[in-house]
């Protein structure tokens, strides 16, 4: 089943913060976060593994609540380059299932 | 270091035809996953190849098949094309974690398939 992301869309002014949430009904091994700009491939942001291991970009932070099967991506001091659609991919049984995405628009 | 490459970039086919898409993984990666992304949607998992075998499969019909070669490159074949197969097809490569889950997947630029 597809994870649910919220919000579906958000508009921020440059410098503001945002939180994007991802929730699954399945027990998860890991959560992967990607950003996709229009017409481009998804770009890896972060992976959060069961047990606490994380890998990703230094300027991106995220959390993973294994018990609640939820993850959140924190974008602070947003820049124009942060615009795009953010997808979470939840891993269960070595399969990644992506959510429907959160469209983030940053305005000057 | 070459990233994931895919060919062709665009393809136009008619209903009933067959198509083959190609993917070369990032250097050092041994696992290739294929995804279908419809407009405005997230990528949908088709299948994953490792050691030249299909290891995992999503909810796609048998019309979708694939292959992995000894050099880890991969092909996606779709037979009897339907209008609904029009989408962006993404290939992602990763390094298998030996049963410890999926490591970071790096996506290629995709192949835009249009079925008329």
Confidence of residue A74 (pLDDT cuts 50, 70, 90): very high
Share of chain A above pLDDT 90, in %: 64
Name the residue with higher pLDDT: A55 or B19: B19
Residue B103 sits in a domain of what CATH number?
2.60.40.10
- Largest Cα–Cα distance in chain A? 42
Question: B33, A30: Cβ pair inside 8 Å?
Answer: no
Confidence of residue A51 (pLDDT cuts 50, 70, 90): confident
- Whether A37 has its CB under 8 Å from any CB of chain B: the answer is no
As given in the structure block, the two tokens for residue B54 are 């299909």
Residues of B with Cβ-Cβ distance to A90 under 8 angstroms: none
pLDDT at B102: 67
Per-residue pLDDT 10s for chain B (116 aa) are: 679 999 999 999 999 999 999 999 999 999 999 999 999 899 999 999 999 999 889 999 999 999 999 999 999 999 999 999 999 999 999 987 665 566 789 999 999 999 99
CA dihedral B102, B5, B10, B37 (to 10 degrees): 10
Give the domain ranges of chain A. Answer: 4-107
Domain of B90, in residue numbers: 5-115
Name the residue with higher pLDDT: A9 or B100: A9
Summarised one tens digit per residue, pLDDT across range A10-35 is 999 999 999 999 999 888 888 999 99
Handedness of CA B115, B60, A92, B31 (dihedral sign): negative
Residues of A with Cβ-Cβ distance to B32 under 8 angstroms: none
- Whether A44 has its CB under 8 Å from any CB of chain B: the answer is yes
Confidence of residue A106 (pLDDT cuts 50, 70, 90): very high
The structural domain count of chain B equals 1
* Nearest-Cα residue of chain B relative to residue A40: B109
Report which of B19, B33, B50, B25 is spatially closest to residue A91, judged by C-alpha positions. B33
Q: Which CATH superfamily includes the segment(s) A4-107?
A: Immunoglobulins (2.60.40.10)
Q: Give the mean pLDDT of A62-80.
A: 92
pLDDT at B99: 58
- Whether B56 has its CB under 8 Å from any CB of chain A: the answer is yes
Give the distance from residue A29's alpha carbon to the nearest chain B alpha carbon, in angstroms.
7
B39-54: buried (b, 16+ CB within 10 Å) or exposed (e) per residue?
A: eebbbbbbbbbbeeee
Tokens 């694939």 -> residue: B66
pLDDT at A86: 97
pLDDT at A15: 94
* Contact of A48 with A8, CB cutoff 8 Å: no
């Amino acid at each position: 089943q597809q994870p649910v992301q919220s919000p579906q869309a958000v508009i921020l002014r440059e410098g503001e913060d945002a939180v994007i949430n991802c929730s699954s009904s399945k027990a998860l091994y890991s959560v992967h976060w990607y950003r996709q700009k229009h017409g481009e491939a998804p770009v890896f942001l972060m992976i959060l593994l069961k047990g606490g291991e994380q890998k990703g970009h230094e300027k991106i932070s995220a959390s993973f609540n294994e018990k609640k099967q939820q993850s959140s991506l924190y974008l602070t001091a947003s820049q124009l380059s942060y615009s795009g659609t953010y997808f979470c991919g939840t891993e269960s049984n070595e399969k990644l299932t992506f959510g429907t995405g959160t469209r983030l628009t940053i305005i000057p | 270091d070459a990233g994931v490459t895919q060919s062709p970039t665009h393809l136009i086919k008619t209903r009933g035809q067959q198509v083959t898409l190609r993917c070369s993984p990032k250097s050092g990666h041994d696992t290739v996953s294929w995804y279908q992304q419809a407009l405005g949607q997230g990528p949908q998992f088709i299948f994953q190849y490792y050691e030249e075998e299909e290891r995992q499969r999503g909810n796609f019909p048998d019309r979708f098949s694939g292959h992995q070669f000894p050099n880890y490159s991969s092909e996606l074949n779709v037979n009897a094309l339907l209008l609904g197969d029009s989408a962006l097809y993404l290939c992602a490569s990763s390094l298998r974690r030996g049963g410890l889950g999926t490591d970071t997947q790096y996506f290629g630029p995709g192949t835009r398939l249009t079925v008329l």
